[in-house]
Amino acid sequence: MEFNEIDPIGHEDDYRPRPPFRNHRLRRGIYILPSMFTVANLLCGYYAILAAFDGTTADFDNAARAIGIAILFDAFDGRVARMMGTNSEFGKEFDSLADVVSFGMAPAVLAYAWGVRAATAANASPELHLIQLGWLIGFFFLGCCAWRLARFNIHGMAPGGSRYFVGMPTPAAAGMIAACVHGFSSPIQDVHVSLMWLLLVLVLGVLMSSQIRYYSFKDIQWARRQPSLAVVLMVLLIGAAVLFSQIVLMLVASAYVIHGVIFHIVRYVRHRIASRAA
């Protein structure tokens, strides 16, 4: 009996080389990398909540800085996932849950602790119910943040491309609160100023859940060549934000919040004029 024509391994045509184990581990690492940015985002939000509970001026500033760092991590996790082609439903939902903590819960707690608690302890009249009002508006902000994220997961960007968000992005609303805390440093002591602060928090929540369009900067081709002037302006802006962070960050955050409202009013007026002319 001859065994020369018997292939104990199988036909060579059916043989498929297995990918090395090292490549398999590398692919797993690529999927993990965007999630690490999301975890860092979540960690910053958690730290901001703990710092706001401590209640000193330095703790409030650290909480504001942590929210700002969370914004950077949130910007990077999506870009890294798109660059590596590792977008997934898990990453999308995980990012939204982290954003609820970092851009919903953390700024709401910080807004209450910095802008309401000190004023109440100083000279607030019990008839104002400032504590109850602060808790209510903080919860409203948190609910609008969750609403905004859920709506974005279902509907995505504004119709016509990826240039505009529908409603103010949650990092922008959280960044406005963090910029104010970082810019003014000392907690609010005056009751009237505290009421104005709560009005700002309320407006931010309304803008998040509104239909106002906000520019997304997603149409900018960062990987392509840009004019020299644009690069110089970007470097100057970063340098100013580092050296004069209190003023510059507040101006940038305020400008982004206001620009959506202004453009919305301009589009509304143009639409009314066009409809009357027709």
Q: Are 64 and 110 in contact (CB under 8 A)?
A: yes
Residue 81's pLDDT band, with cuts at 50, 70 and 90, is: confident
d(CA 271, CA 278): 11
For residue 157, give every residue at least 6 positions away whose Cβ sits within 8 Å of its Cβ, in sequence order, or none.
Answer: 163, 164, 165, 166, 216, 218
Q: pTM above 0.75?
A: yes
248-275: average pLDDT: 91
Q: Are 145 and 170 in contact (CB under 8 A)?
A: yes
pLDDT at 11: 46
pLDDT at 1 over 80: no
With respect to CATH, is domain 24-219 assigned 1.10.287.70? no
Among candidate residues 138, 114, 115, 116, the one with its CA nearest the CA of residue 57: 114
218-232: average pLDDT: 72
pLDDT at 141: 97
pLDDT at 51 over 70: yes
Distances (CA, A) of 65 to 21, 145, 182: 41, 20, 7
Q: What is the mean pLDDT of the chain?
A: 83
Query: Which sequence spans correspond to the domains of the chain?
Result: 24-219
Residue 23's pLDDT band, with cuts at 50, 70 and 90, is: very low
d(CA 135, CA 194): 13
82-111: average pLDDT: 88
143-164: average pLDDT: 85
pLDDT at 230: 76
pLDDT at 229 over 60: yes
Selected residue with higher pLDDT from 118 and 141: 141
d(CA 48, CA 79): 24
Chain centroid to Cα 120, Å, comes to 30
Tens digit of each residue's pLDDT (9 = 90 or more) over 34-45: 788 999 999 999
262-278: average pLDDT: 85
